[in-house]
Chains A and B, each alone.
Chain A
């Protein structure tokens, strides 16, 4: 068909489909990852308007240098006790992850997700926030619960869906909810917690409260519409909220390029909304702590929301259902230029003469024993692998505050089925 408007001398258009730099079998060289020197990023006053420090969305706030020294304006100057507490919580999180990952492999539960390599993101933030602040986590912030002193047994009860599980076996393992510890119920739908955190923060502000909200999502899910709705709301009402984007490079098997990382940084998302944006070395616990504290102060003084990109690396699979060797080079985790967050904080404590290898090894042994003992306690309440532990009729609890007739009828039907089948499931007394 001849066109009235011939375009024969135009170049054909091409579609760009991003591709990660390394695939299985490739040698890894992260030389192109720009790692600015520790201490080089300026620290604005928290009252400064966001538009005055947009460069912080493109550089990287780093405190710990190559020698393990804390340098520059973002050094939070924490006491040795506070540093050791942070180190211990990160090591405890890693020990917990190891143990629960193994429990899944042993068939004791259906599913688990580790935070290996990104322990600083949740643990350091938890230490910088007030206990009363509300956290809206995604599924890899178990470090918040561990840092806030939530009992490991309760976490394990949830993972095992056993009779001690406070969520009555209704949620996938690791989808915790702990209101008294300022930990919002986790959703499997990505980034839905973003506008919810803004709503919580707006409610706190509307009531003249002093508590703020903090929320986490992965870099991949910044593509979700809810992320952008939340940024708009937070900007419009200057909500006292901290947006954390955990850029761990991989959203299951999709690299960060599929969320737009080739074109800009995730911290720079803040600029278009007029929100403060910080890009932080996510494997530097002191940088994460300092950035969170700074953002919390902005929120608490009505200076508005902050978006923090935590530049980190997911050292292991997305979950127990994932095999990263199928899509990325095996060399990536060890070649990651920002190192291991636990090793770096340990190095710092040793460098300032407040820690040593022997104490660290002893702590690791103690934590492993502690987690093991807690696991033993939790398993007294049963494991998912041994069948169902919840009273059967609780299946209908909590759909509504009061059970309507159609649910009562269905509940009665289910109990009659159980009667007929002779299954040994417990009833709610």
Chain B
């Protein structure tokens, strides 16, 4: 399966197991979503469980919260993560705080799915990585898979979770892993072990990172598309790096991060999102607080730039092999 199919399978499995799970969003019903992630679900589960919505993200989010408060488990789709901003208040002030402000009387067990990230020539409004905004909010979880296997297992875990979960899907790797070179042919998930996705039920628990490549020379903290770009770059440079795929940003698997950095003594953080106040800043602070005396070099951050996401210049913006390679040389200088 590719990641789209894995997500579709996760939704199918959850809807088959629990009649309270429902899918809603712009174009998700008859058409099956602009990325086809919900294809076939309406035909299988009917129009009251899989339905198209008006184009109002704050409405989608507010309605999902009300459904969650009723006792259902809605899985709203925001067609592109860039369009979460109109729903920001419902997410931040309502979904994330409902349990807290009502002392558990009402909860919002909703999973917001949304494709995010660049590398598809999507311009300013189809490319952003908004995760840092939401990791700053108390009361919601943020999950980002990097493989089809994880995407399915994490999505099932997110739907079963009783807290609001933002599930960001790296759309650049919907069809296959990505080496960071826009002009080289992309791989297909069918040739990748993580594309071997079971059709039935399984979970990948939230809050657990994965060591996708063990190594001794340095620790790379990444998630989503960047996991694959980093793997390609260290192979090219012949560096024995340990790649930690965070998978869940909140709650974060601090134990795996701490153990890895203490082992390697070096830490590089890679994300697509803009740099200032990005999630990399939080990771950097945590590593510094917990591993300072084990560090042999300053922590390196490789990120997108603090500009809006450009269209024709997107490959200059994207944290690709050149930017990551330079950071690698810098952090390994004294090794």
Contacts and interface: CB of A to CB of B under 8 A. Distances in A.
A133 to B, nearest CB: 12
Interface string B21-63: 0100000000000000000000000001100011010110111
B93 interface: yes
Most buried by B among A189, A206, A229: A229
Q: What bracket does the count of chain B residues touching chain A fall in? A: 35 or more
A240 B303 CA distance: 48
Nearest to B90: A192
A250 interface: no
A16 B169 CA distance: 47
A225 B49 CA distance: 26
Given A177-B102, A399-B100, A406-B252, A202 B66 contact: yes
A401 B99 contact: yes
B101 A404 contact: no
Interface in A42-72: none
A187 B94 contact: yes
B19 to A, nearest CB: 9
Contacts of B254: 405-406
A137 to B, nearest CB: 13
A57 B61 CA distance: 29
A411 B90 CA distance: 27
A381 interface: no
Contact of A179 (B22, B68, B105, B141): B105
A233 B63 contact: yes
B102 A185 contact: yes
Contact of B59 (A170, A229, A397, A405): A229
A400 B94 contact: no
Most buried by A among B58, B65, B163: B58
A225 B58 contact: yes
A204 interface: yes
A197 B106 CA distance: 13
B105 A187 contact: no
Given A192-B90, A400-B139, A179 B106 contact: yes
Contact of A177 (B62, B65, B101): B101
Contact of B62 (A184, A199, A399, A405): A199
B22 A167 contact: no
A404 B253 CA distance: 10
Contacts of B104: 397-398
A184 B98 CA distance: 10
A205 B49 CA distance: 11
A226 B62 CA distance: 8
A226 B330 CA distance: 49
B102 A167 contact: yes
Given A195-B59, A400-B139, A233 B70 contact: no
B67 A199 contact: yes
Interface string B135-177: 0001101000000000000000000011100000000000000
B63 A199 contact: yes
Contacts of A200: 66-67, 69-70
A168 B99 CA distance: 12
A203 B71 contact: yes
Given A229-B58, A232-B54, A405-B254, A197 B66 contact: yes
Given A192-B62, A199-B63, A226-B59, A404 B207 contact: yes
B335 interface: no
Contacts of A229: 54, 56, 58-59, 62
Nearest to A235: B54
B309 to A, nearest CB: 25
Interface in B174-192: none
Contacts of B74: 199
B109 to A, nearest CB: 9
A351 interface: no
B106 A184 contact: yes
Nearest to B57: A229
Contact of A170 (B68, B89, B103, B163): B103
A398 B93 contact: no
A175 to B, nearest CB: 7
A177 B94 CA distance: 14
B234 interface: no
A206 B101 contact: no
Nearest to A404: B251
B251 A399 contact: no
A203 B90 CA distance: 18
Contacts of B229: none
A206 B49 contact: yes
A198 interface: yes
B111 to A, nearest CB: 14
Interface in A200-228: 200-207, 213, 225-226, 228
Contact of B54 (A189, A205, A236): A236
A406 B251 contact: yes
A401 B72 CA distance: 17
8 contacts: A167-B102, A185-B105, A189-B94, A196-B69, A232-B56, A397-B104, A399-B138, A405-B252
Given A203-B71, A232-B59, 5 more contacts: A179-B102, A195-B63, A198-B63, A400-B139, A404-B207
Instruction: Pick the 4 closest A-B CB pairs, nearest first.
Output: A199-B66, A195-B62, A229-B59, A199-B63
Interface of A: 134, 136, 166-168, 170-171, 175, 177-179, 184-185, 187, 189, 192, 194-207, 213, 225-226, 228-230, 232-233, 236, 397-401, 404-406
Interface of B: 22, 48-49, 53-54, 56, 58-59, 61-72, 74, 86, 89-90, 93-94, 98-107, 138-139, 141, 161-163, 207, 250-252, 254
